[in-house]
Amino acid sequence: EAQVTQNPRYLITVTGKKLTVTCSQNMNHEYMSWYRQDPGLGLRQIYYSMNVEVTDKGDVPEGYKVSRKEKRNFPLILESPSPNQTSLYFCASSLTSGRALGTGELFFGEGSRLTVL
Amino acid sequence: GQNIDQPTEMTATEGAIVQINCTYQTSGFNGLFWYQQHAGEAPTFLSYNVLDGLEEKGRFSSFLSRSKGYSYLLLKELQMKDSASYLCAAGGTGGGNKLTFGTGTQLKVEL
């Protein structure tokens, strides 16, 4: 089954304790992206990757890191989480062809709800 | 930069038709997308418009006017399961393949 898998789905942590949210897709997609979703603010892009070893900042990259060492995996790293990073996080992937996002169809993971105390 | 505006909430009756509007401002526009998101779930793709006009997919249709920076999603024969948030998103090439989402329109379908 074609899917994007995120782990963990739920996490409560404390300020400053490094954590990683993993994301894996089995569709051989080139494009992967991380979003956070907050009430009243919608989905905001954190980082995205056009292909292996190619990553770029989105609209809200501060406090986050990513890596793309393999095509299927795109982990999101919070080196020193703070309470303002409490949010619902979505990983997404898509075929990409040149400038456009292919058909535009982003496949989303089920989301990771993170609480930082 | 990119800016997306859509109504926060709408209510409609089962069996009726509802139109959800979206206006956008974006650099390097390369398409307008609609996603559906049920509470507690991930967004799922509904439609993609890059040329002006109407795209129809069953009960759902999406319209785009590039000159006006305007799109709408039309839902016909509403069903209770259509109660969800509908996200308008504009694709742009500024700084790479960026997809900027609006804050979503929460649609409530009532009997």
Q: Is B33 on the interface with A (CB under 8 A)?
A: yes
**Could you report the per-residue pLDDT of A36-82, keeping only the tens digit for each?**
999 989 899 999 998 899 999 988 999 999 999 999 999 999 999 99
- What is the reported pLDDT for B3? 87
Residue A115 clears pLDDT 50, i.e. is over it: yes
Q: Is B58 on the interface with A (CB under 8 A)?
A: no
* A90/B42 Cβ within 8 A: yes
- What is the reported pLDDT for B97? 60
* A44/B101 Cβ within 8 A: yes
Percentage above 70 pLDDT, chain B: 93
**Could you report the per-residue pLDDT of A79-106, keeping only the tens digit for each?**
999 999 999 999 999 886 444 444 467 8
Lowest-pLDDT range, A52-61, B13-22, B90-99?
A: B90-99
Q: Is A100 on the interface with B (CB under 8 A)?
A: yes
Query: B12 to chain A, minimum CA–CA distance in Å?
Result: 22
Would you list the DSSP string of chain B?
A: --EEE--SEEEEETT--EEEEEEEE-SSEEEEEEEEE-TTS--EEEEEE-SSEEEEETTEEEEEETTTTEEEEEE-S--GGG-EEEEEEEEE-TTSSEEEE---EEEEEE-
